[in-house]
């Protein structure tokens, strides 16, 4: 569709380990529309980071994309040469990471790092790049851009460094910003400010944002659409409000039930028993079946397909599948 910026189809990313080669992400379908914030949510080990690194083709050497398509503005990124991918990365697609302190170089001032980032893709003079850097620092809500330009990362707070990272990511006007847990290293008030900033940037610049988080509170605050990921697969995807109001997959239901409510103080917090399977020990059938309160024999035997659920959502669950009875009988 015209409004789709990024379409990932049937992506499979695998890792070579000492016990063999195993897929960490398989049959992954994700679409991001122009100007929207899509949140990818799921427990630790679901494959959220692997999905985003695949998209940027920044996988570690033990990882590789076995199959699939990643179409960005109609071009399949997997068919591009290394150099062409490099041009898209950082120019059309930019990424910010969980820990800004790791991503920023401690021996250069913050300003000079952004200037560098600008000049990689844009052959403008140092003076012009500096001017642009100061503008970007202002855009990300830094009150004294000149002062921060000359500061080293360790002289600034974590929240401030994350703003610098965002400024750097924005330096080439990307169409898609990927943010992998951009606020988990920050305390809650700073987290709220950074999320607010991301939203404002989206509104002002009209870019799309793929926001990766394990925090449903962040999803509720930010997402236009949400994709719930489990064990390398999307289990449910749809409009965020619809998913929150009427979660259809038992995994989504479990995640929502485990959010603490301030008004229910003293109540015992629900948690989904068990944990995400490792890539070398994926269960047969539905990957969530071993932890699912509704799992039936069929769920443990055959993998469910993604089907259209209520409210425009798509859900990977046998319970909602018309083919259930036929399969059961067969
Ligand atoms: N380099 C690697 N070699 C082998 N397995 C890996 C490698 N990187 C990731 N994996 C496995 O792939 C799966 C998905 O990992 P991933 O880091 O994408 O999870 P995640 O959803 O981002 O989790 P978190 O919320 O903890 O960041 C995990 O089972 C992980 O152990
Ligand atoms: Mg991760």
Q: Which atom number of ligand 1 is nearest to the Cα of residue 59?
A: 1
Matching residue, tokens 């509104």: 203
- Provide the pLDDT for residue 209: 98
| Ligand 1 midpoint to CA 45 (Å) | 5
Distances, alpha carbon 49 to alpha carbons 13, 60, 84, 161, in Å:
11, 12, 23, 21
Phi, psi of 96 (to 5 degrees): -120, 145
Distance from residue 232's CA to the centre of ligand 1 (Å): 9
| Tokens 């008004």 sit on residue | 263
Nearest CA to ligand 1 atom 16: 47
Q: Which protein residue has the closest C-alpha to ligand 1 atom 8?
A: 50
Cα of 139 from ligand 2 centre, angstroms? 27
| Secondary structure (DSSP) of 209-237 | EEEEES-HHHHHHH-SEEEEEETTEEEEE
Which ligand lies nearest the alpha carbon of 229? 1
Q: Are 132 and 171 in contact (CB under 8 A)?
A: yes
- pLDDT of the residue at 201: 94
Which pLDDT belongs to residue 122?
Answer: 83
Query: How confident is the model at residue 49, as a pLDDT?
Result: 94
Atom of ligand 1 nearest to the CA of 214: 25
Structure tokens at 327: 């399969």
Residue 148 to residues 106, 108, 109, 154: CA-CA distances in angstroms? Answer: 14, 12, 9, 12
Question: How far is ligand 1, taken at its centre, from the CA of residue 229, in Å?
Answer: 12
With a CB cutoff of 8 Å and minimum separation 6, the contacts of 220 are 240, 244
- In angstroms, the CA 245 to CA 172 distance is 37
As a whole number of angstroms, the distance between CA 64 and CA 246 comes to: 36
Tens digit of each residue's pLDDT, the chain (330 residues): 668 999 999 999 999 999 999 999 999 999 999 999 999 999 999 999 999 999 999 999 999 999 999 999 999 999 999 899 988 987 899 999 877 777 899 999 999 999 999 998 888 899 999 999 999 999 999 999 999 999 999 999 989 999 999 999 999 889 999 999 998 888 888 899 999 999 999 999 999 999 999 999 999 999 999 999 999 999 999 999 999 999 999 999 999 998 877 676 677 778 898 999 999 999 999 999 999 999 999 999 999 999 999 999 999 999 988 777 777 666
Nearest protein Cα to ligand 1, atom 3: 15
Structure tokens at 307: 């089907």
User: Which residues does ligand 1 sit against, CB inside 6 Å?
Assistant: 15, 17, 24, 42, 44-50, 60, 62-63, 214, 278-279
- The edge-to-edge listing of strands for the beta sheet with 176-180 is 93-96, 176-180, 208-213, 37-41, 225-230, 233-239, 314-315, 307-308
Answer yes or no: are the C-beta atoms of 318 and 296 closer than 8 Å.
Answer: yes
Distance 143 CA to ligand 2 centre (A): 31
Residue 154 φ then ψ, to 5°: -70, -10
């Amino acid at each position: 569709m015209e409004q789709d910026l990024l379409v990932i189809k049937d992506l499979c990313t695998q890792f070579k380990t000492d016990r063999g080669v195993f897929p960490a992400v398989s049959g992954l379908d994700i679409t991001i529309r122009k100007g929207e914030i899509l949140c990818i949510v799921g427990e630790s080990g679901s494959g959220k980071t692997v999905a985003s690194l695949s998209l940027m083709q920044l996988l570690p050497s033990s990882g590789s994309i076995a199959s699939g398509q990643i179409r960005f503005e109609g071009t399949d990124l997997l068919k591009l040469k290394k150099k062409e991918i490099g041009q898209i990365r950082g120019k059309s697609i930019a990424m910010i990471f969980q820990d800004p302190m790791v991503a920023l170089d401690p021996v250069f001032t913050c300003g000079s790092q952004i200037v560098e980032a600008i000049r990689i893709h844009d052959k403008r003079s140092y003076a012009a790049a500096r001017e642009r850097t100061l503008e970007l620092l202002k855009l990300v809500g830094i009150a004294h851009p000149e002062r921060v330009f000359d500061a080293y990362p360790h002289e600034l707070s974590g929240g401030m460094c994350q703003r610098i990272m965002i400024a750097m990511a924005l330096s080439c006007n990307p169409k898609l910003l990927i943010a992998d847990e951009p606020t988990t290293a920050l305390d809650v008030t700073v987290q709220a400010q950074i999320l607010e900033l991301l939203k404002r940037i989206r509104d002002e610049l009209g870019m799309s944002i793929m926001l990766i988080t394990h925090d449903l509170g962040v999803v509720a605050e930010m997402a236009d659409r949400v994709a719930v990921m489990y064990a390398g697969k999307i289990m449910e995807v749809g409009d965020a409000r619809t998913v929150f109001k009427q979660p259809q997959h038992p995994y989504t239901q479990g995640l929502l039930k485990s959010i603490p409510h301030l008004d229910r103080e003293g109540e015992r917090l629900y948690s989904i028993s068990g944990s995400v399977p490792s890539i070398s020990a994926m269960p047969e059938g539905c990957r969530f079946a071993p932890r699912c309160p509704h799992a039936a024999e069929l769920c443990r035997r055959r993998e469910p397909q993604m089907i259209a659920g209520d409210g425009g959502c798509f859900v990977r669950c046998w319970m909602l599948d018309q083919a259930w009875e036929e399969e059961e009988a067969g």
